A and B are shown apart, each in its own frame.
Chain A
């Protein structure tokens, strides 16, 4: 299948590894990945911050660039949520959804050495509803020990500009999330959203925790 990659602004800038990993996983499965270079940001940040007019312009750009593809994949369920649930673009899928639901693949041939816990991000849980797709993929990774995260369905406190505007509340939520990760004694916390991993990873790093935050795509790409 010919699949367009929607890398997202945060993914492009901060999680380039996850982007490369997404390409690697899909190519390994025999698919063709294209990257429309006109893409920048879907407009979620502006929309969620109350700048509706700017968001509308970015939305029109986005639709023009991606409307023509049969399938668009993104390593960010939050951005997928915006463009699919709010803009109504049914052709856009988060990576784990694409693999498990659309392509019917659970074993992507990955090996990963480590004790891993999975944080279901809010938008993957309640907006794009990826369900257990990421867990099914993780269960098939050789060498990987999957451990359950307590209070997994609770928000990590990122919330875009919320993390800055309501920094103290955001930090209180993050502290609880980091505590939960520590309880699992995992070496890696993974998720399908770069933005949430920015928050969780930042919290883990600040407290010198043994666990690090790694995007699901990177685990699936490792061999």
Chain B
């Protein structure tokens, strides 16, 4: 994959993208701050969310088996998938068994992670995205740049033009309501004719086998109730032990995510119910690197993530570069710690460095993932896995210098010729990367320690 700095360089040149992102992330973060401030026990809620997730990860083996039994008892079929290939094969087999050449899909990061749509296409099955933003991206062959707002990098006139080319030849307005109406007309018939629906999941309840999804548009409820067959793909970390735990997470998630007190649609289903909703339910439990993450005691907290995207909206890096620079369906700060762990650090070694460690992400995380701390942990792993000889030599020299105050003083003396300059405008590589856009303040004419010694 392209390294983050290289990908970011390209994205940063897109002024429209930066303006869109600024506006959108500012709006969501202001909304979030407002609704979070209303909750008097927000910090206690965060702590409760963290504790539940920690417990889930500590006893994941037991909760998974409990969940499997509960789903089976309620009439569902459980499939275990080691990786993307196995998970995709399950979905394709179910669709094939029902003679479906199209499945209707709700927005799901997990299915994006395993590239389900491409796998289904290879099997001759079209996966229709029914979330408004996902539909836009699908129609244009584009991909998501934000966990919650996948088409955050597009504006409405671009969308109007796209719809005019594809699903609504007569559209002239770019009013949000008209755009939504165009997509609704296009989707409604497809929903009614679909034989198989595909969903992700926000939560799976080990105790009852219940699956929970939260959404804004209602397309998810259509996907999970209209087709006679439903396949739900969920990462193994999505479990909660008890039904009552939803009390914590259904407060944390909407407020952190869309900045709403409650999201418009919350759907819960347990197995199959005679005469109501899908009569065949398949649940795919996906590993795809998650047990490897679980094995790392410091890094595993990345699996606490409930995909709210609050960390993206406050991230000064994400809000400049957008999501595509992160090269994964998980962008922003959470992506910077999740992707390298899921794919292996050697395959995403630049991501843990795509942060100033400003800490804004940790501050808003509803389940208290200490992202800066995990970034440091992964940086050390990245350095071990991938050597950068020039950098390593420079840092070794610095460490050697810092090991002795005498050597440090010598190094300072070597810099003194620069102290005579008023300002430093050009430096050799790699420091030229600093002076390309910034001057450098010259070192002090007299380092502090020299002055201290001379003091009477």
Contacts and interface: CB of A to CB of B under 8 A. Distances in A.
A166 B8 contact: yes
A114 B78 CA distance: 69
Contact of A199 (B362, B423, B438, B446): B438
B249 interface: no
B9 A168 contact: yes
Given A12-B447, A37-B405, A167-B437, A48 B399 contact: no
Interface string A120-134: 001101110000000
Given A16-B451, A50-B379, A167-B433, A202 B353 contact: no
Interface in B394-424: 395-396, 398-399, 401-405, 408, 412, 415, 423
Contact of A169 (B12, B415, B436): B12
A39 B447 contact: no
Given A50-B380, A166-B4, A166-B5, A37 B437 contact: no
A167 B431 CA distance: 10
A122 B356 CA distance: 9
Contact of A164 (B12, B431, B448): B431
B291 to A, nearest CB: 25
A13 B415 contact: yes
A57 interface: yes
Interface in A166-211: 166-175, 197-199, 201-203, 205-206
Given A7-B448, A12-B412, A48 B376 contact: yes
Chain B interface bracket (under 10, 10 to 19, 20 to 34, 35 or more): 35 or more
A13 B441 contact: no
B316 interface: yes
Contacts of A206: 425, 437-439
B92 interface: no
Interface-central residue, A50, A122, A159, by most chain B CB under 10 Å:
A50
A61 interface: yes
B439 A165 contact: no
A214 to B, nearest CB: 11
A45 B355 CA distance: 14
A9 interface: yes
B437 A174 contact: yes
B358 interface: yes
A171 B358 contact: no
A58 B436 contact: no
Interface in B331-350: none
A38 B404 CA distance: 7
B436 A126 contact: no
Contact of B360 (A43, A46, A126, A159): A126
Interface string A23-45: 00000000000010111110101
Nearest to B13: A168
A107 interface: no
A202 B446 CA distance: 20
B447 A46 contact: no
A168 B444 contact: no
Nearest to A199: B438
A49 interface: yes
B405 A127 contact: no
Contacts of A69: none
A188 to B, nearest CB: 15
Nearest to B359: A126
A203 B320 CA distance: 17
B430 interface: yes
A54 interface: yes
B316 A13 contact: no
B365 to A, nearest CB: 12
Contacts of B158: none
A54 B128 CA distance: 52
Nearest to A167: B433
Contacts of B436: 167, 171
B362 A49 contact: no
Contacts of A170: 356
Contact of B447 (A16, A123, A125, A167): A16
Contacts of A199: 438
B405 A123 contact: no
A47 interface: yes
B449 A37 contact: yes
A87 to B, nearest CB: 13
A129 to B, nearest CB: 10
B414 to A, nearest CB: 11
Contact of B320 (A54, A123, A172): A172
B179 to A, nearest CB: 30
B354 interface: yes
Contacts of B447: 12-13, 16
A163 interface: yes
Nearest to B6: A168
B438 A13 contact: no
A184 to B, nearest CB: 19
Contact of B8 (A123, A169, A202): A169
Interface stretch (A88-96, A97-105, A136-144, A150-158): A150-158
Contacts of B383: 49-52
Contacts of A126: 358-360, 362-363
B363 A9 contact: no
22 contacts: A7-B449, A9-B402, A13-B415, A14-B443, A19-B451, A38-B405, A40-B401, A41-B408, A49-B379, A49-B383, A50-B383, A54-B395, A58-B402, A126-B359, A127-B359, A155-B316, A157-B316, A157-B356, A164-B433, A166-B8, A203-B438, A206-B438
- The 10 closest A-B CB pairs, nearest first, are A159-B356, A202-B438, A50-B379, A16-B444, A50-B383, A126-B359, A122-B358, A54-B399, A19-B448, A167-B433
